[in-house]
Structure 1
Amino acid sequence: MSSLFKTVGDVACEPAQAASVATTGTIGARLDRLPPSRTIWTFVVLISLGGFFEFYELFSTAYLAPGIVRSGILTETTRGFFGMTGIASFIAAAFAGLLVGTLLFSAIADRFGRRSVFTFALLWYTASAAVMAFQTTAWGLNFWRFMVGIGLGVELVTIDSYLSELVPRQMRGRAFALNQVITYLSVPTIALLAWQLVPLAPLGLDGWRWVVLAGSIAAILVWGIRTRIPESPRWLASHGEQGRADAVLTALEQRVERETGRPLPKPEPSVGEVIEHGRLSEIFSRRYLSRTVMLSTFHVFQTIGLYGFSNWVPTFLVHQGIEVTASLAYTMGITLVMPCGPLLALLYADRFERKWQIVTSSVVVAVAGLLFAATRNPALIVLTGGLVTLGATTLSYNFHAYQSELYPTRIRARAVGFVYSWSRLSGVFSGFLVSWALSRAGVSGALLLIAASMAMVAISIGLLGPRTNGRSLESLTQ
Structure 2
Amino acid sequence: MSIAETTATGPVRSLVPARLDRLPWSRFHWLVVIGLGVSWILDGLEIQIVSQAGYQTTLGLSAGAVGAVGSVYLAGQVLGALFFGRITDRLGRRKLFMVTLAVYLVASGIGGLSFSLWFLLVFRFIAGMGIGGEYTAINSAIDELIPSRFRGRVDIAVNGTYWGGAALGAVANLYLLSDHLPTNVGWRIGFFLGPLIGLVVIFLRRTLPESPRWLMTHGRQEEAECTVAEIERRAASGGTELTPVPDRLALEITPVDRVSYLKIAKVFFRDYPSRSFLGFSMMVTQAFLYNAIFFTYALVLQHFYGVPKAHTSYYFFPFALGNLLGPLLIGHLFDTIGRRRMILFTYGVSGLLLLSSAYLFQAGLLNATTQTAMWCAIFFLASAGASSAYLTVSEIFPLELRGQAISFFFAISQGAGGVVAPFLFGHLIGTGDSAAPDRNPLTWGYVIGAVIMIAGGVIAWYFGVDAERRSLEDIANPLSATTNHREVTS
TM-score range, shorter chain: 0.7 to 0.9
Quick one: distance in 2 between partners of 1:422 and 1:116?
Answer: 25
Q: Is the 8 A contact 2:47 2:166 kept in 1?
A: no
Q: Offset at 1:118?
A: 0.8
Between 239-248 and 468-477, report the one with greater CA deviation: 468-477
| Structure 2 residue aligned with 1:420 | 410
Between 119-128 and 313-322, report the one with greater CA deviation: 313-322
> 1:1-33 CA distances to partner (integer Å, 9 max, x unpaired)?
xxxxxxxxxx3x533899xx9957511111111
Quick one: distance in 2 between partners of 1:26 and 1:437?
Answer: 56
TM-score (norm 2): 0.85
CA 1:460–1:23: 2 relative to 1, 3 Å: farther
Report 1:217-228 matches (<5 A): 217-228=196-207
Task: In structure 2, list runs of 5 or more residues that go unmatched.
Answer: 432-439, 478-490
| Structure 1 residue aligned with 2:316 | 331
Quick one: distance in 2 between partners of 1:416 and 1:343?
Answer: 22
| Structure 1 residue aligned with 2:351 | 366
Quick one: distance in 1 between partners of 2:240 and 2:104?
Answer: 41
> 1:43-99 CA distances to partner (integer Å, 9 max, x unpaired)?
22212122321222234454x23x2444454333xxxxxxxx344323321221111
| Structure 1 residue aligned with 2:286 | 302
> 1:222-264 CA distances to partner (integer Å, 9 max, x unpaired)?
1122112110000001100001100010011122223243233
Identity value in percent: 24
Quick one: distance in 2 between partners of 1:93 and 1:430?
Answer: 17
CA 1:23–1:171: 2 relative to 1, 3 Å: farther
Q: Is the 8 A contact 2:319 2:372 kept in 1?
A: yes
Which among 421, 430, 436 is matched to residue 430 of structure 1?
A: 421
Report 1:462-473 matches (<5 A): 462-473=461-472
CA 1:59–1:282: 2 relative to 1, 3 Å: farther
| Structure 2 residue aligned with 1:33 | 22
| Structure 2 residue aligned with 1:382 | 372
> 1:125-145 CA distances to partner (integer Å, 9 max, x unpaired)?
111112222324334333322
Q: Which amino acid aligns with 1:412?
A: R
Quick one: distance in 2 between partners of 1:422 and 1:235?
Answer: 25
Between 43-52 and 450-459, report the one with greater CA deviation: 450-459
Quick one: distance in 2 between partners of 1:455 and 1:25?
Answer: 42
Match status 1:269 vs 2:249: yes
| Partner SS for 1:414 | helix
| Structure 2 residue aligned with 1:180 | 159
CA 1:14–1:107: 2 relative to 1, 3 Å: same
Quick one: distance in 1 between partners of 2:264 and 2:32?
Answer: 29
Report 1:389-400 matches (<5 A): 389-400=379-390
Between 429-438 and 464-473, report the one with greater CA deviation: 429-438
> 1:339-361 CA distances to partner (integer Å, 9 max, x unpaired)?
21121025433102223322222
Which among 38, 59, 62 is matched to residue 75 of structure 1?
A: 62
CA 1:131–1:326: 2 relative to 1, 3 Å: closer
Between 27-36 and 325-334, report the one with greater CA deviation: 325-334
| Structure 1 residue aligned with 2:437 | none
| Partner SS for 2:241 | coil
Quick one: distance in 1 between partners of 2:68 and 2:450?
Answer: 24
Q: Is the 8 A contact 1:200 1:207 kept in 2?
A: no
Quick one: distance in 2 between partners of 1:92 and 1:430?
Answer: 13
Which among 390, 401, 425 is matched to residue 391 of structure 2?
A: 401
Q: Is the 8 A contact 2:113 2:188 kept in 1?
A: yes
| Structure 2 residue aligned with 1:4 | none
TM-score (norm 1): 0.87
Between 359-368 and 304-313, report the one with greater CA deviation: 359-368
Between 425-434 and 182-191, report the one with greater CA deviation: 425-434
| Structure 1 residue aligned with 2:262 | 281
Between 357-366 and 300-309, report the one with greater CA deviation: 357-366
Which among 127, 146, 149 is matched to residue 170 of structure 1?
A: 149
CA 1:435–1:165: 2 relative to 1, 3 Å: same
| Partner SS for 1:258 | coil
Q: Is the 8 A contact 1:22 1:243 kept in 2?
A: no
Task: In structure 1, list runs of 5 or more residues that go unmatched.
Answer: 1-10, 77-84
Match status 1:103 vs 2:86: no
Quick one: distance in 1 between partners of 2:225 and 2:423?
Answer: 50
| Structure 1 residue aligned with 2:480 | none
Report 1:304-319 matches (<5 A): 304-319=288-303
Q: Which amino acid aligns with 1:328?
A: S
Quick one: distance in 2 between partners of 1:450 and 1:391?
Answer: 15
Q: Which amino acid aligns with 2:275?
A: R
Q: Is the 8 A contact 1:270 1:475 kept in 2?
A: no
Q: Is the 8 A contact 1:371 1:384 kept in 2?
A: no
Quick one: distance in 2 between partners of 1:72 and 1:301?
Answer: 36
Q: Offset at 1:420?
A: 1.5
| Structure 2 residue aligned with 1:138 | 117
| Structure 1 residue aligned with 2:482 | none
| Structure 2 residue aligned with 1:47 | 36
Between 87-96 and 120-129, report the one with greater CA deviation: 87-96
Quick one: distance in 1 between partners of 2:190 and 2:458?
Answer: 39
Q: Which amino acid aligns with 2:353?
A: A
Q: Is the 8 A contact 1:296 1:420 kept in 2?
A: no
